[in-house]
Each structure stands twice: as structure tokens, then as C-alpha cells.
Amino acid sequence: MFELLWWWILLLLPVPWLVQRWFAVKQQDEVVQAGLFMPFADDLRDMSQTQTSTNKHSKYQLLLWLAWLFLLLAAARPQWLGEPVELSRSGRDLMLAIDLSGSMQTRDFEISGQSVDRLTATKVIAKDFIARREGDRVGLILFGAQAYLQTPLTFDRKTVNQFLSEAVIGLAGKETAIGDAIGLAVKRLQHVKNASDLVLILLTDGVNTAGALKPEEAVKLAKNIGLRIYTIGMGADSMAVRSFFGTQMVNPSADLDEAMLQNIADETGGKYFRAKDTQGLQKIYALIDKLEPVARDSKTFRPVRSLLVYPLAISFVLLLLILVLRKWR
């Protein structure tokens, strides 16, 4: 709908008429110095001199009044209010910690019938998960021998997905610093006000082999700030490997420390999940969506489009037209 934000400015509409009457009473040639500056005061003064002068300038009066009217309309800040739009809000801050250690290059996952490494499968599934978290702030931690904050908490989920897609195995070292990854998440989340909505999803395929902080110590820090940790252990139970002696079945997840991941989840109020294949990983992220649904608290706003330029342009054109007519006269 149409709205004038400063509608009271239209009360100034009779000002030119009052000024004209003032000149008519005083019968003076010079413009009275007033607080309000009138760009066409000379015209109003001439119109108040004599009947002949009034007739001479009568053809400008309508244009002057229209110019003044549209100038006031512009000053009144006209705007168009659109339909109410509902914005979902969430107090949840969700951090993803993705393992980039050397073992993540194991090709025991499949996508569209093709064998892929664990990191590639993680990217495909995690991207969809991130895209669904509309209204949440999402951050990304990448860890190997060290832990790095790749993306701070942000509503810009496209940027998070972009940085995730650019992650490569070994970027943070070949070993696995699970404790440091949790500690970094605690450091970035400890100052958040809504502690009950802090979530960390930690995905790894190994055991803690590096870092300055032990997982047990990191868990204590996480509990202090109310951080819930969902842990995901990646890797198939069996995998066919070709060798000089033929095809052999091996366990590519032999080094996965499930007991540690289970303890981390239990101590912080989260859950531990085991992802043995792509479908299983997809179901895990869907389950986390249910356990940590996007908050539905919402607020509405009406998009506002300023219309000031239109009456201002009309007023300018009318004043320009008056100047042209006077010159031709």
C-alpha cells in the first residue's frame, strides 16, 4: 500500500499563498527575509503587485502550485509497502568439523555407482545438509594434524558450501587432531549467548593421533559451555582390495576409534552415528535435521520501496518548464 512517512509536511501547502498575501499587504519590492526560503519567491512577489502583473503571470501560477505540491510530496517521503514477508529466525549456531587426514582418501564409498573417497562423499551429503539449515548460523572447521577455522559462523550458507567444496585431503596435515577440532569449536562458540543451541557435528574416520588437546580435555571444555556434539564415524566394514595374491577383503575402518566418538557424544548430550556407506551418511544428516530442527520462531517485515524520486522529478520538470517559458517571453 501507499504511505506518506512524514505526511504532516503537506500542512505547508498554503505557505506560498500566505507569502503572496504578505507581499500584497506590504506593497514592497524586496522579498521579506524569512526562515523559509522560497526558490520562486520573485514570481510570487510579482503576482502580488498589480492586477496587470497578476494577469501577466497567471499562466505560471498553476505550474508553480503544482511544482510546490510535488516538492512537498517528495519531502513527505512517499513509499510503497509490499506484502508482509515472514523471516525465519534461529538462535542455533551449528559448527561442522570435517576430517581432512590422509585416511579420508580411502575409496570405500559410492556415488551414482562410482567409487569415491570419503571426503568426496562427505562433501556431497554435507552440502545438502548445509543448504537445508536456512535460518541457522553455520561455521566450518577443517582438521588434520591441526585444526583450522575455515568459515566463522555465518548465515551465508553458500559461502560455507564453497569453502567445503574447495577442501582437499592433507590440507591440514595427514594426522588427526580430534581434540584440537573440538577445542577450536569451543573457542569460537564460548561467547555465544544462547548456549543451549550450540551444536557441533564432528566427522572423522580415525583416531586422535595429533594435536595439543586430548579429546577428554576438549569434552570437558565443551560441557562447560553447553556444546552438544554429534559424532560421525566414517568408513565401510569391508572392502575388496586387489594385490599380487589376488582380491582380498579388508576392513578399511580398523583404525576408527568408535569408543572415543561414542564417549564424546554421550558426555555432551549428543549422539554417535556410524556411516558405512553414502546412503547411511545421508540418513545420518537427515536424522540430525530432526534432532536439531531449524527454529520456527519468525518475524515479519514489509519490504519498503521509496517513491521520493518520482514527485521530486515532476517538480523539477515543472520548474524547468517555468524557466523556459519565461525565457521565451
The answer to which of 25-34, 101-110, 260-269 has the lowest mean pLDDT is 25-34
Closest-CA residue to 122 (of 100, 137, 102, 143) = 100
**What's the mean pLDDT in 249-276?**
86
pLDDT for residue 260: 94
CB 24 within 8 A of CB 48: yes
- Lateral strand order in the sheet of 93-99: 147-154, 137-143, 93-99, 198-204, 228-234, 272-275
Assess contact for 32 and 22: CB atoms under 8 A: yes
Residue 244's pLDDT band, with cuts at 50, 70 and 90, is low
pLDDT at site 115: 86
- pLDDT of 52 reads 46
C-alpha cell at 225: 559451555
Alpha helices per DSSP H over the chain: 15-26, 41-47, 51-75, 118-132, 157-165, 178-189, 215-224, 258-268, 278-291, 309-328
Quick one: pLDDT band at residue 242, thresholds 50, 70, 90?
low
Q: What is the pLDDT of residue 33?
A: 46
Q: Could you report the per-residue pLDDT of 268-286, keeping only the tens digit for each?
A: 999 999 988 888 888 989 8
Please state the rounded mean pLDDT for residues 86-114: 81
117 CB-near residues (< 8 Å, 6+ apart): 104, 105, 106, 107, 109, 169
Average pLDDT over residues 40-49: 51
The neighbour count for residue 225, using CB atoms within 10 Å, is 16
- What is the residue extent of each domain of the chain? 2-81+302-328, 93-299
Place of cell 589376488: 246
Q: Higher-confidence residue: 191 or 53?
A: 191
Give the list of residues 6+ apart from residue 273 with CB closer than 8 angstroms, or none: 230, 231, 232, 233, 284, 287, 288
pLDDT class of 27 with cuts at 50, 70, 90: low
Measured between alpha carbons, how far is residue 137 from residues 14, 48, 132, 227, 299 in Å? Answer: 54, 67, 12, 15, 17
Q: Which residues pair with 200 in a beta bridge?
A: 95, 229
Topology (CATH) of 93-299: Rossmann fold (3.40.50)
Among 13-22, 132-141, 270-279, 312-321, the least confident range: 13-22
> In the numeric block, which cell numbers belong to residue 2?
501507499
Whole-prediction pTM: 0.62
Residue 223 vs residue 26, higher pLDDT? 223
Taking only the tens place, the pLDDT of each residue in 308-327 is: 888 888 888 888 888 887 77
Burial 41-50 (b: 16+ CB within 10 A, else e): bebbbbbbbe
Which amino acid belongs to residue 153?
Answer: L
Least confident segment among 75-84, 176-185, 246-255:
246-255
Tell whether the model's pLDDT for residue 87 goes beyond 60.
no
Q: Using CA atoms, how far apart are residues 191 and 4, in angstroms rounded to an integer?
A: 42
Among 126-140, 219-233, 313-327, which stretch is predicted with the lowest mean pLDDT?
313-327
Computed over every residue of the chain, the mean pLDDT equals: 81
**Most confidently modeled of 224-238, 243-257, 288-302?**
224-238
Judging by beta carbons within 10 Å of its beta carbon (0-12, 13-18, 19+), is residue 299 exposed, middle or buried? exposed
Instruction: Determine how β-strand 93-99 pairs with β-strand 137-143.
Output: parallel
Percent over 70 (pLDDT), the chain? 78
3-state secondary structure of 90: coil
